Amino acid sequence: MNSIIDKSQWIITAIGCFLFLAVSVTSTAVLSTDLYHNNKFRKPFKIGFENALRNLQKEVASSSSSALSLVELKQDFSDLRGGGKSVSSSSTKSVPGILKWAYSAVGIATTAAWTTIVLTTIRSNQPVGALLPTMQHGLVNRISTLSAVPLILSSYGFLIKACESESGTWTELSSTSCRRQNLALAVTGVAGALFVNFAPLITKLPGADTLSHQVYTGMTKKLLLGAFISGAALSTHVWKASLPEASDIPFHDNIPLLSLPGRVADEVSKSMFTIAPCNINNPVNVKYALLTTGFLILTAVQTLGQHPVSVIPSWTGRRLSRIFPAWTLLAAVTSFNLKEATEHGDVLLHRNRILSRGIKGYGILQLTSKAGAVFFDPSWPVHYPAVTAVYGWATVRLLL
C-alpha cells in the first residue's frame, strides 16, 4: 500500500512540475502577444502612414493624368500595413505565431490539471480512513472522469488549426465556431478554478464539519489555479479580440467591458434557438443536433439536480460530480459546432474532424468505464448506491 502511495506522490509531483512549466510558457505567451499588438507602439507608424496617404491623395487629385481614389490608394498600399484587400478588418491581420504555442501550452496544462484532480480525488484514504472497496472501483471511475481529456485536447487542437490557416490571418479565429469554442473553454477554465479553490466545501461529506473528499493547499493549489485561470484568460482574450467590432486592432481594448455580457447572451441565445437540425433527412446533421441536446440536458442535471441525480453523468458520487458539468458543456458546444459544420458542408475539414475525434474519444471512455463498473467491478451494485437509486436516469444517460 505504501509503495502505491509513493508512486502516486511521484506522479503528482511530476505533473506539478509540468504544470509549472506550462503555466509559465502560457503567461509569457499572453504577455508577449499583448506587447506585440499594443497600440501605443503602432500608433506613430499608423499616423505617419495615414498622413502620407493624405498628401499623396492631394497630389493625385491635382493631376489630370490620374483618377485614383483614396480607397484605391489604400488597397494599393495595403501590403505596407500587413497585406490584404481591406485594412479595416481583423481578417487581414496576421495571427501572431506565438498564439498557437500559447494554445498548446494551455491545452497541455489544462489536461495535466484535470488529470491531477482525478488522480488525487478518486483514491483511497480521501478523506482519511475512507477506502475504495476494490481496485476496479477506483479504476473505472477514473476512466469515467478522464473521458474529458479527448474533449480538452480536441478543442485546443481545433483552435490551433485555426491559427495555422493558409491565409495566416484572423479569418478562422473570427468565425462563430472558433468564438463559440473559445467561450466554452473560458467557462471550463473558470469552473475548474472555482472547484480547486472551493473543493473542501464542494466535496464536503454530509454531517461532517471538517471531512471532505478533496482539499488543495500550497504549491499544488497554485499550479492548478494557474493552469485553469490561464486557459480562461487566453480564451476570453482571443474571443473578445475576434468580435466583429474589434476588427481594427486585434488584442486591443476597444470594446466596452459592460457590453461583453450582452455579447455572450447574444451568442448563446442564437445558438439555443438553432439547435434543431436544418435537414432532418441528413442523419449526420440529426445526430449532432441530438448530441448537443443530450449534453445540454446532462449539464443541467449535474448543475441543478440534487444528489443522487447529479452523479449520473460521472458516477463519482460527491467527489467530482459538481465539476464534471463543465466538460459536458464543452461536449455540447463541440457537438453544436459539428452540427453547423454539417449544414455548411465542411464537416470533413481537418479541424472539424479533430472535434469529431474528441466526441468519439469521450464516448468510448464513458462506455468503457460503465461496462467495467457493471461487469468487472466486484463491488457493483452495492458500492454504487447513488447510481442504483436512479436507474431511469442512468439508462437515459447511457443512451445519450
Tell me: the pLDDT tens digits for 385-395?
888 888 787 77
Say whether 340 sits in a helix, a strand or coil.
helix
Query: Do 181 and 162 form a contact (C-beta atoms < 8 A)?
Result: no
Q: What is the pLDDT of residue 64?
A: 40
Return the closest-CA partner of residue 276 out of 231, 340, 214: 340
Return the closest-CA partner of residue 225 out of 199, 201, 204, 257: 199
pLDDT per position as a tens digit, 364-384: 999 999 999 999 999 999 999
Question: What value does the mean pLDDT take over residues 15-40?
Answer: 45
Rounded to whole angstroms, how far apart are CA atoms 342 and 285?
6
pLDDT surpassing 50 at residue 77: no
pLDDT surpassing 90 at residue 113: yes
Percent of the chain with pLDDT over 70: 71
Say whether 204 sits in a helix, a strand or coil.
strand
Q: What is the pLDDT of residue 15?
A: 57
pLDDT per position as a tens digit, 191-207: 999 999 999 999 988 87
Rounded to whole angstroms, how far apart are CA atoms 127 and 211?
6
Query: Do 60 and 66 form a contact (C-beta atoms < 8 A)?
Result: yes
Rounded to whole angstroms, how far apart are CA atoms 294 and 276?
12
Q: What is the pLDDT of residue 387?
A: 87
Rounded to whole angstroms, how far apart are CA atoms 69 and 56?
10
Cβ-count burial of 273 within 10 angstroms (0-12 exposed, 13-18 middle, 19+ buried)?
Answer: exposed
Say whether 169 sits in a helix, a strand or coil.
strand
**What cell numbers appear for 275 in the block?**
439547435
pLDDT surpassing 80 at residue 119: yes
pLDDT surpassing 60 at residue 215: yes
Question: What value does the mean pLDDT take over residues 146-175?
Answer: 89
Quick one: pLDDT band at residue 25, thresholds 50, 70, 90? Answer: very low
Q: What is the pLDDT of residue 28?
A: 40
